[in-house]
Chains A and B, each alone.
Chain A
């Protein structure tokens, strides 16, 4: 039987420690986009809560915890991170497997915010972009999803094919910040 080797997007590129900031790859983990059909938002929220114990996220918010999380992912859309989606979800929403579509990294450590501020026009001030906040925005020239998971901990996602550029851009920013 054919046995295929799995490879993560940032294999051989990470982890990276520069100054006080660390960049590591996340996963692999199951990621499913949930996009409710017309008028099914409430029903979807109910199933999501029942099946996975996760609250449907308001725009620009993330809910849940490590292992089962929902990231707001765009207009009327969330990304379920962790569990395989319960079959009942498909009745309420369009589900698409996104587990392999993204390079997912975590940027951690004092100065992580300064590193990100070199790459994204988002307002990252701690009292504006709080723990549990998430945003879709630019990361230099790439579309990204950025989520603040802790005081100095950010989850960053770009399309998988950009993994090398993501690490390149973050590394350059980490070097500049470390040298300041």
Chain B
């Protein structure tokens, strides 16, 4: 598997650390209710198809990345810097 890091280019998957669904970007406000926190911490979809994951280019540039990929075809549709996603939204 290869991931095209926006900074480093296409790299072997062994350079990356996998975290999980990009849901982790959307941290609730501190006052949010228990259901919101529970969803944020524990609830994950298991899609057959498009998924958005967080990967860390640990052995490379050190950037956290949002990778959009297809769990059926394994095609990677896009990779963006997580910090850009946050800055943009």
Spell out A's residues near B (CB within 8 Å). 59-60, 74-75, 77, 121-123, 135-138, 143-144
What are the nearest 5 A-B pairs in CB distance? A121-B12, A75-B61, A75-B63, A74-B62, A138-B59
- Give per-residue flags for B30-70: 1 if the beta carbon is below 8 A from chain A beta carbons, else 0: 00000000000000000000000000001111110000000
With contacts defined as CB atoms under 8 Å apart, how many contacts are there between chain A and chain B in the complex? 38
Name the residue of chain A whose CB is nearest to the CB of B7: A59
List residues of chain B with CB within 8 A of the CB of A136.
8, 59-62
**Interface size in chain B (residues, C-beta < 8 A):** 14
List residues of chain A with CB within 8 A of the CB of B63.
75
**Interface of A, helix, strand, loop or mixed by DSSP:** strand
Name the residue of chain B whose CB is nearest to the CB of A121: B12
List residues of chain A with CB within 8 A of the CB of B11.
121-122, 137
Assess whether B14 is interfacial by the CB under 8 Å rule. Answer: yes
Q: Are B59 and A59 in contact (CB under 8 A)?
A: no
- Give per-residue flags for B10-33: 1 if the beta carbon is below 8 A from chain A beta carbons, else 0: 111011000000000000000000
- Tell me which of B10, B12, B15, B61 contacts A74 (CB under 8 A): B61
Q: Are B15 and A75 in contact (CB under 8 A)?
A: no
Chain A's nearest CB lies how many Å from the CB of B15? 6
List residues of chain B with CB within 8 A of the CB of A122.
11
List residues of chain B with CB within 8 A of the CB of A121.
11-12, 14-15
Compute how far the CA of A69 lies from the CA of B10 in the bound complex, rounded to whole angstroms.
26
* A135-B14 in contact given A59-B61, A75-B62, A143-B59 (Cβ < 8 Å): no
List residues of chain A with CB within 8 A of the CB of B61.
59, 74-75, 136
Compute how far the CA of A136 lies from the CA of B11 in the bound complex, rounded to whole angstroms.
11
Compute how far the CA of A74 lies from the CA of B62 in the bound complex, rounded to whole angstroms.
6
List residues of chain B with CB within 8 A of the CB of A123.
10
Compute how far the CA of A136 lies from the CA of B5 in the bound complex, rounded to whole angstroms.
12
* A75-B7 in contact given A136-B60, A136-B61, A137-B59 (Cβ < 8 Å): yes
For this complex, 21 residue pairs linking A to B, each with C-beta atoms less than 8 Å apart, are A59-B8, A59-B61, A60-B7, A74-B60, A75-B61, A77-B62, A121-B15, A122-B11, A123-B10, A135-B8, A136-B59, A136-B60, A136-B61, A137-B15, A137-B59, A137-B60, A138-B14, A138-B15, A143-B58, A143-B59, A144-B59
